[in-house]
């Protein structure tokens, strides 16, 4: 049985990213983004669930994340995927802290994963919740940066109802947001674990 410190030592093609790799990362980056946004739309029916979209979506998007890690075990793949998601988020009208959270999250995940030939199961399972949590943190941080009134005004300008915006922002200043952050980390960890199990056969081929 291979030692956990050498989980990625059998990974092939760990050199430079190819055009095919860029396309692959772009497709799955957009997929992860849309999974998150789909859950955001579902959760938007209740202001108390709005910031739970990242947690719930990660139970599914974790599979896509682990598939990318398995199919493109190269330095920079996750950063490329993050850059594409961040650009896509900006084009879709997301407030700037959201795309920033996406990119910083992917950069942090890339640093955690490190050398493709020295990746461990622990690094894989840490990378995804790190990304999701920083994505979530980027999303919520704007309200704390600009204040309640300014954030509500931006939400209304974006087409959200005034009362809903006020309730949502009020919820963000409640202790429940701490629980929401913990739920985001826990769900993302579970989503990543599910991803490794779904693609267990593929990971075994690269030494896991």
Domain definitions of the chain by residue range: 15-146+176-200
Average pLDDT, the chain: 87
Q: State percent of the chain over pLDDT 70.
A: 89
What is the value of pTM for the model shown? 0.86
Mean pLDDT check: name the lowest of 9-23, 57-71, 121-135, 189-203.
Answer: 9-23
Residue reference for tokens 């309200």 = 143
Instruction: Decide: helix, strand or coil at residue 116.
Output: helix
> 76 with 17: CB under 8 angstroms?
yes
CA dist list (Å): 179 to 103, 161, 166: 24, 26, 20
CA 6, 8, 12, 18 dihedral sign is negative
Q: Does the structure show a pLDDT above 90 at 15?
A: no
Q: State percent of the chain over pLDDT 90.
A: 60
Find the mean pLDDT for residues 174-193.
Answer: 95
Find the mean pLDDT for residues 132-141.
Answer: 94
Find the mean pLDDT for residues 49-68.
Answer: 93
**b/e map 114-138, b = 16+ CB within 10 Å:** eebeebbeebbbbbbbbbbbbbbbb
How do residues 91-120 score in pLDDT, each as one tens digit? 988 889 999 999 999 999 999 999 988 888
Q: What is the DSSP letter of 18?
A: P
Mean pLDDT check: name the lowest of 59-63, 74-78, 82-86, 200-204.
Answer: 200-204
**b/e map 71-80, b = 16+ CB within 10 Å:** bbbbeebbbb
- Tell me the C-alpha distance between 112 and 124, whole Å: 8
Q: How far apart are the first and last CA of the chain?
A: 9
Residue 10 has what pLDDT? 41
Q: Does the structure show a pLDDT above 70 at 49?
A: yes
Q: Does the structure show a pLDDT above 80 at 200?
A: no
Backbone φ, ψ for residue 120 (5° rounding): -110, 165
CA dist list (Å): 43 to 39, 59, 203: 6, 15, 33
Residue reference for tokens 């943190």 = 137
Q: Who wins on pLDDT, 191 or 207?
A: 191
Q: Does the structure show a pLDDT above 70 at 135?
A: yes
Q: Confidence band (pLDDT; 50, 70, 90) for 14?
A: low
Q: Does the structure show a pLDDT above 50 at 4?
A: no
Number of residues written out for the chain: 208
- Tell me the C-alpha distance between 66 and 68, whole Å: 5
Find the mean pLDDT for residues 153-162.
Answer: 86
């Amino acid at each position: 049985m291979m030692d956990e410190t050498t989980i990625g030592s059998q990974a092939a093609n760990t050199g430079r990213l190819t055009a095919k790799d860029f396309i692959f990362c772009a497709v799955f980056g957009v997929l992860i983004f849309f999974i998150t946004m789909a859950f955001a739309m579902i959760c938007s029916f209740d202001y108390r669930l709005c910031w739970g979209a990242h947690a719930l979506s990660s139970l599914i998007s974790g599979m896509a994340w682990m598939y990318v890690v398995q199919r493109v075990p190269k330095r920079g793949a996750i950063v490329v995927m993050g850059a594409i998601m961040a650009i896509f988020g900006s084009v879709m009208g997301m407030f700037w802290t959201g795309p920033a959270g996406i990119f910083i999250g992917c950069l942090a995940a890339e640093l955690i994963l490190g050398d493709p030939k020295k990746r461990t199961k622990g690094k894989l399972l840490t990378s995804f919740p790190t990304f999701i949590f920083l994505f979530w943190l980027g999303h919520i941080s704007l309200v704390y940066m600009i204040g309640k009134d300014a954030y509500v005004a931006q939400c209304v300008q974006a087409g959200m109802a005034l009362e809903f915006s006020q309730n949502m922002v009020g919820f963000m200043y409640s202790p429940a947001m701490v629980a929401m952050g913990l739920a985001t980390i826990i769900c993302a960890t579970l989503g990543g674990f599910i991803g490794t199990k779904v693609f267990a056969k593929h990971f075994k081929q690269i030494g896991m």
